[in-house]
Structure 1
Amino acid sequence: MAFDLDDLDPRHKKTKPLNLDEMNVEDLKEYVAVLRAEIERVEAKIKAKQSHASAAASIFKR
Structure 2
Amino acid sequence: MDWDDLKPPPKPATASVGENLETLSVAELEQRIAAFAAEIARVEAELARKRAHESAAAALFRKPGA
TM-score by structure 2 length?
A: 0.68
Q: How does 1:1-62 map to 2 (within 5 A)?
A: 17-61=18-62, 62=64
- Higher helix fraction (1 or 2): 1
Bigger Cα Rg: 2
Provide structure 2 residue ranges, at least 5 long, that are not aligned to the other structure.
1-15
Identity of aligned residues (%): 40
Task: For 2:26, give the aligned amino acid.
Answer: V
Which structure has more relative contact order (CA 8 Å, sep 6+)? It is 2
SS at match of 1:22: coil
Q: CA RMSD in A?
A: 1.4
* Runs of at least 4 residues off by over 6 Å: none
Q: CA deviation at 1:16?
A: 5.5
Q: Distance in 2 between matches of 1:44 and 1:16?
A: 20
Task: For 1:45, give the aligned amino acid.
Answer: E
Task: For 1:44, give the aligned amino acid.
Answer: A
Provide structure 1 residue ranges, at least 5 long, that are not aligned to the other structure.
1-14
The aligned length equals: 48
Q: CA deviation at 1:18?
A: 1.3
